[in-house]
Structure 1
Amino acid sequence: MIRGLYTAASGMISQQRRQDMLTNNLANANTPGHKADQASLRTFPRMLIANLSRTYETSSNELATGVYLQETIPNFLQGSLMETNNDTDVAIIDGNLPDNSTLMFAVQTDNGQRYTRNGNFTIDNEGRLVTRQGMPVLDVNGNQIFLQSENFQMLTDGTILENNVQVAQLNVVLINDANHLVKEGNGLFRYEGAALASAVGNPEVAYQLQQGFIERSNVDLQQTMTEMLNAYRTFEANQKVLQTYDQSLDKAVNQVGRIG
């Protein structure tokens, strides 16, 4: 019976964490470039229950000891594009990419280089192309990009022109293994894998940059709402199981074996 308490409680904790993940996805449904988190539930190592009541025959069954929520992994599927007519907005359009890879913009932060799909850029008072949080966007040489005004032209390969003169080329980084990306907030990712290479000029990678557009979040609102309701109902079911075990324990302690 005590094992049942732990099993039901682990189910409640898992559904609560799943609900938190889905709530965060829903809250970022309108955040440009946001990648929805996804996770799956798995059981703890199973126990082998053996029946040794008969000396000549042994029967055995497996018993799960609860569930847990695996680490959350972002879904890097391409989001839809939205036209803004703002020259500082840039969207990555994925083309031919290796399996389990994705493309990112490179930005400079106080903690080093980070990566983002949010191309909702602007120009700060120093003339630098920066994110909405003020982090400089980097070119193919790892340098900050300085512009005279917001009236510039960007080609599909990221080349930036001012008065028909090339001033920089936006860096697009190829993340070979997207599982090594870790979310840090504000649409930024930290990469914990091997050294990265630029996708610019890579014949194995096909992509385009679209000026005046942003990539929308890839959160599916209807699916997310359905999963949230399912998580709530599963949490409620485990809660009722826990209450039933609690009532049974109360009777076992206070009523069973009572004299008189």
Structure 2
Amino acid sequence: MVRGLYTSASGMLVAQQLADTVANNLANVNTNGFKQTLLEIQSAPTLDVYRLQTDPGPRTGKNALPGVPVAAPVGQLGTGAWVYDTPETFSQGPLQATGNPYDLALGGTNAFFNVQTPQGVRYTRDGQFTVNPNGNLVTMDGNFVLGQNGPIQVQQQQGAVTVGPDGTVSQNGITIDRLALTRFNNIVDLRKQGNNLFVDTGNAQPQATAGATVIQGSLEKSNSNVVRSMVDLIVAERWFDSNSKSVKMQDQATQLAIQDVGTTA
């Protein structure tokens, strides 16, 4: 009975984490450059269940002992599940034209803007940038957008800023810098760090990218699939409910067993 409680409880924990993950995906459906998170669920090892019974048929061999019960297979017993991993899906989100010269989108999936944060260089697909009072190109959180020569700086009153498809930033026909863009050989090893930023866990193998297409005046929207998320939310609710009922039933069975022992004693 105790094993059954743990098995059902593990199912409730998985269902709760699935619901939390899906809710976060839905909450960020309008977040620029957001990449939805998936859950990889792993089943715990199963147990082989046997039943002792008397073998009615003839038995031969060195272990043949007439009248001695034998173990007959009944089936397998599940022992629960756990969340194995929570990878992001890096598929391209839809592009939306804004006309804002500081809004930038990246074509393709394996390229990221480099931004300087207090914790170090981080990576993002959110290209909604602006210019701070010092002329630095920054994210909406104030982090510096990096070029090949460091933080990109423009002269706000010196004409329009243009960004070419290769990331070259120019003003009045004069090249200022080129956006620092990074691709990863093992993109699945990137992890979210909040504020739409990604961090290399140490195995993503970052490399300076060439050939990434920068689209000025557009933003990449979230790649969250609303329909799938709603279905997953219903599934998580049903998982949690069924496992919760199982826990209650096993708890009641345990109470009855304790009462019977007390009565017998």
- TM-score normalised over the length of structure 2: 0.87
Is 1:215 the counterpart of 2:223? The answer is: no
Is 1:132 the counterpart of 2:140? The answer is: yes
Alignment of 1:22-171 (within 5 A): 22-51=22-51, 58-60=71-73, 61-94=75-108, 102-141=110-149, 143-149=150-156, 151-171=160-180
Partner Cα distance (2:135, 2:203) in 1: 33
Superposed CA offset, 1:36-58 (max 9, x none): 00012211122333456567555
CA offset at residue 75 of structure 1? Answer: 0.5
Partner Cα distance (2:205, 2:152) in 1: 23
Q: Which SS does the other structure have where 1:3 is aligned?
A: helix
Partner Cα distance (1:72, 1:257) in 2: 47
Contact 1:40 1:70 in 2 (8 A): yes
Superposed CA offset, 1:64-123 (max 9, x none): 2101112211100000001111100100011xxxxxx72111111111111001001110
Alignment of 1:170-209 (within 5 A): 170-191=179-200, 192-193=202-203, 195-200=205-210, 206-209=211-214
Equivalent position amino acid for 1:14 in 2 = V
Alignment of 1:16-27 (within 5 A): 16-27=16-27
CA offset at residue 258 of structure 1? Answer: 2.7
Superposed CA offset, 1:4-58 (max 9, x none): 1111111001100111111111111111000000012211122333456567555
Q: Which SS does the other structure have where 1:74 is aligned?
A: coil
Equivalent position amino acid for 1:25 in 2 = N
Partner Cα distance (2:34, 2:179) in 1: 20
Equivalent position amino acid for 2:180 in 1 = N
Q: For structure 2, which runs of at least 5 residues remain unmatched after alignment?
A: 55-62, 65-69
Q: Which SS does the other structure have where 1:30 is aligned?
A: coil
Contact 2:26 2:226 in 1 (8 A): yes
Label 1:177 to 1:195 Cα distance change in 2 as closer, same or farther (>3 A). closer
Equivalent position amino acid for 1:144 in 2 = P
CA offset at residue 175 of structure 1? Answer: 1.2
Partner Cα distance (1:41, 1:175) in 2: 25
Equivalent position amino acid for 1:44 in 2 = A
Give me the identity figure in percent: 35
Superposed CA offset, 1:213-241 (max 9, x none): 01000001111011101100110011111
Contact 1:90 1:212 in 2 (8 A): yes
Contact 1:140 1:198 in 2 (8 A): no
Provide the alpha-carbon RMSD of the alignment. 2.0
Q: For structure 1, which runs of at least 5 residues remain unmatched after alignment?
A: 95-100, 201-205
Of 249-258 and 184-193, the range deviating more from structure 2: 249-258
Superposed CA offset, 1:184-241 (max 9, x none): 00011111226522113xxxxx431110101000001111011101100110011111
Partner Cα distance (1:110, 1:50) in 2: 60
Partner Cα distance (2:101, 2:167) in 1: 13
Q: Which SS does the other structure have where 1:42 is aligned?
A: strand
1:97 aligned residue:
none
Partner Cα distance (1:187, 1:145) in 2: 20
Contact 2:186 2:204 in 1 (8 A): no
